[in-house]
Chain A
Amino acid sequence: MATMNMVKALNSALDVMMERNPDVLTFGEDVGYFGGVFRVTEGLQARHGKQRCFDTPIAEGGIVAAAIGMGAHGLRPVVEIQFADYIYPAFDQIVSEAARLRYRSAGQFSAPITIRSPYGGGIFGGQVHSQSPEGLFTHVAGLKTVVPSNPYDAKGLLISAIEDNDPVIFLEPKRLYNGPFDGHHDRAVRAWAGRPEAEVPEGYYKVPLGKAAIVRPGQAVTMLAYGTMVHVAVAAAEEAGIDAEIIDLRTLIPLDIETIEASVRRTGRCVIVHEATRTSGFGAELIALVQEHCFYHLEAPIERVTGWDTPYPHVFEWEYFPGPARVIEALRRVMGDGR
């Protein structure tokens, strides 16, 4: 075991996989010599060689297309898109190509690729360094979408993603890279060290795709969250003194519906939180599923707390970010207080 922040844990996942499997390689903008703008690939070029960890032209479509070609020819590329906000030039390659290759070739070809990308707000990055585009990918048949919320899961999920034979969109909440963040932006920045999730095995282990984690057991209401919002949900539940059960989805597709269903059937209430814009966001899918699976157990309308349907505004970062105060209001509404 070693204490790792999320950057180190992701770096360790790549390192372990490159060590184990010569077909694993990683590339993207500034990931080679420099080690990535967030340092996730630091040292990998020195350890594994230039051919296995290298810089690419600034061409996200080209990066993903090359990964597809390599993946189809037996390699396991892990590519970094420098910010999720810059994934759109690759959208066609992801949506029309990676996602459908297995289907359209009746299994002759597939794209066993992992597309890593830092996402989400909280760093005053304005509209092009803050977006949460997960809903664009969960809407596409053939893609898996993964979002870790802590170093231990980040490493184990990334290893699972690399070993998975389907294309995986792996979104890393950049505000969590160096420490947990519960939305209290006015408080001192915290580090991962000292938290149990930061105790990470140095070697190989997996956190399976498709399995959620109950990060806080409770009886009164179920909260569904992923990424940074897991920490916001925990803070909100604690500050409101509500016995909420908090489920960290970890994988959005395939979704662990069993864990969700069992919890909501027990609590009868559900609050969904995500940072992405509201309309047609993943929360909408979760509401539909909870409604389909748990309708007769529900005691209150399902609530969702999300980013607003605007681009991410630079100066209004904290009015935009769905922090604990807004989550607490939603919790109170589903609990029937303050109506």
Chain B
Amino acid sequence: MTRAGIATPKPVSPALDDIVPPPLTGLRIPEPQARPGTAPDFSGLVLPHAGAARRPAVDDHPGLFRELAYDLIRVLDEDGNAVGPWAPSLDPQLLCAALMDMLVTRAYDHRMYRAQRAGKTSFYMKSTGEEAVSVGAALALTNADMCFPTYRQQGLLISRGYPLVDMMCQIYSNARDPLKGRQMPVMYSSREHGFFSISGNLGTQFSQAVGWGMACAYKRESHIAAAWIGDGATAEGDFHYALTMAAVYHAPVILNVVNNQWAISSFHGIAGGLETTFAARGIGVGLPALRVDGNDLLAVYAATSWAAERARRNLGATLIEMVTYRREGHSTSDDPTRYRPVDEPDVWPLGDPVERLKRHLVRLGIWDDAQHAAATAQAEEQVKAAAKEAEGFGTLGSDQRPSVASMFDDVYEEMPWHLRRQRQELGI
């Protein structure tokens, strides 16, 4: 708007095109290396030698070992030897027990998956190929350390001796379900076993674990908290809240990212995994960050123990990326052949955690093929017997279930009038 006779001075801004020509490519959308019909390709995954990563002192300043966020801590070499500074000294009997826990977890997953397929429950999620992540952590923690898991750490419960029958009763929402039929299958909770109630809403547990840890510090306890989150779910705000809060308060908590390469159909690059590692997320907030071979039970154990000691000595939290692979579908509702090569699981470079621990035990001379076959059969038997017992208390859809009236319990500590009225309306 210029008035006649008065020149309006105009600020001069250079045309953008003079500075840089407009881009021709548009929005960048990351793509995985391979899709169905093409050959699987893990060439992007750099595999350092076992034993090569250094092990800092737990009280070293996190700024002194940032490279560990980009490295990969591995203990077991190709031949099953435990090598390097992270190699733990563990009673061989404990290692055999850990192997057994992994075998039971695998057998349990297999059986519950089939139970869903047979119509005995609505849903199931396997942890196949990721057993070392939870079993190795359980070995390094005490039962009084509270775990804030996702739906893929059933190995924690199994390692901590939570009865398989109770787990199955939850899967079947039956008369003995400890959670009274309220939760979808696999959303366990056992305060007694240090296993925090699973939400289903991704990521929420991660920052709650920090709060639990803060309470441990406040109460001057030596117990700590540990949390797990998937690679995909690290994109949620809760992940980032957790890192900042943990760093600011030196919360005694172990923060684990389970990078199993996939989040349903989305590869890790959709969560930012192509830009840098998930462990490196910790560096920006000043947390110590370790990237660990998650299919190497000894490495998982060693890193968790290191972080636990740090936390117990009130030196603060650690972020650990457990690099592993989701061998099966996301859940019983998923068909992974629609979005990744069918044979991708077979060429996963970090192999199978059960096989790798087995090789180590054989190398130590305390295990052999016959013992392994017997242990596998024993795990399957144990699971089968538990399933029989659990099914005796009902499966989903049978009339053996918790009392309908209990549906209105625990919404509040004391039932308000409107819920009592609604319970009456339902006629119970």
Contact = CB atoms under 8 A, between A and B. Distances in A.
A296 interface: no
B232 interface: yes
Contacts of A55: 29, 265-266, 270
A303 to B, nearest CB: 12
Contacts of B280: none
A308 B173 contact: no
A21 interface: no
Give the interface size bracket for A toward B: 35 or more
Contacts of B401: 315
Contacts of A59: 235-237
A314 B237 contact: no
B182 A313 contact: yes
B199 A128 contact: yes
A153 to B, nearest CB: 27
A58 B411 contact: no
B36 to A, nearest CB: 10
B418 A58 contact: no
Contact of B200 (A32, A60, A128): A128
Interface string A257-281: 0000000000000000000001100
B339 A33 contact: yes
Contacts of B418: 278-279, 309
B264 interface: yes
B160 interface: no
Given A278-B422, A319-B407, A50 B29 contact: yes
B181 A313 contact: yes
B353 to A, nearest CB: 25
A278 B426 CA distance: 14
A137 interface: no
Contact of B266 (A29, A60, A319): A29
Interface string A104-125: 0000000000000000000011
A128 B151 CA distance: 13
Contacts of B426: 308, 319
A22 to B, nearest CB: 11
Interface string B370-382: 0000000000000
B184 A57 contact: no
B237 A315 contact: no
Given A30-B265, A56-B270, A57-B272, A314 B182 contact: yes
Contacts of A34: 264-266, 338-339
A208 interface: no
Interface stretch (A82-90, A140-148, A220-228, A240-248): A82-90
Interface string B171-189: 0010001000111110100
Given A279-B418, A310-B408, A315 B333 contact: no
Contacts of A315: 173, 177, 181-182, 396, 401-402
A314 B181 contact: yes
A314 B270 contact: no
B392 to A, nearest CB: 17
Nearest to A51: B27
Contacts of B235: 57-59, 62
B122 interface: yes
Main secondary structure of the interface of B (DSSP, over half): loop
Interface SS of chain A: helix, strand, loop or mixed? Answer: loop
Interface string B384-424: 00000000000010000110100110010000001100100
A17 to B, nearest CB: 19
B422 A127 contact: no
Contact of B408 (A86, A129, A308): A308
Interface residues of B, number: 47
Nearest to B402: A315
A192 interface: no
B237 A126 contact: no
Contacts of B265: 30, 33-34, 55
A289 interface: no
A281 B99 CA distance: 52
B181 A89 contact: no
Nearest to B179: A314
A61 interface: yes
B338 A126 contact: no
Interface string A55-78: 111111110000000000000000
A311 interface: yes
Interface in A279-310: 279, 308-310
Contact of A125 (B26, B181, B184, B271): B184
Nearest to A27: B29
A86 B201 contact: yes
A278 B235 CA distance: 34
Interface in A306-339: 308-311, 313-316, 319-320
Contacts of B182: 126-127, 311, 313-315
Nearest to A60: B236
A37 B330 CA distance: 11
B49 interface: no
Contacts of A313: 181-182, 407
B16 to A, nearest CB: 15
Interface of A: 29-30, 32-34, 37, 50-51, 54-62, 85-86, 88-89, 124-129, 278-279, 308-311, 313-316, 319-320
30 contacts: A29-B263, A29-B264, A29-B266, A32-B29, A32-B266, A34-B266, A34-B338, A34-B339, A54-B29, A55-B29, A56-B270, A57-B271, A57-B272, A58-B263, A59-B235, A62-B235, A85-B201, A86-B201, A89-B203, A127-B183, A128-B199, A128-B200, A309-B419, A310-B407, A310-B419, A313-B181, A314-B173, A315-B173, A319-B404, A319-B407
Interface of B: 26-27, 29, 31, 35, 122-123, 173, 177, 181-185, 187, 199-203, 232-233, 235-238, 263-266, 270-272, 333, 338-339, 396, 401-402, 404, 407-408, 411, 418-419, 422, 426
Given A50-B31, A55-B265, A59-B236, 18 more contacts: A30-B264, A33-B339, A34-B339, A51-B27, A57-B270, A89-B201, A125-B122, A125-B184, A127-B182, A128-B201, A129-B184, A278-B422, A308-B407, A314-B185, A316-B181, A316-B404, A319-B404, A320-B407
The 4 closest A-B pairs by CB, nearest first: A315-B181, A57-B235, A126-B184, A128-B200
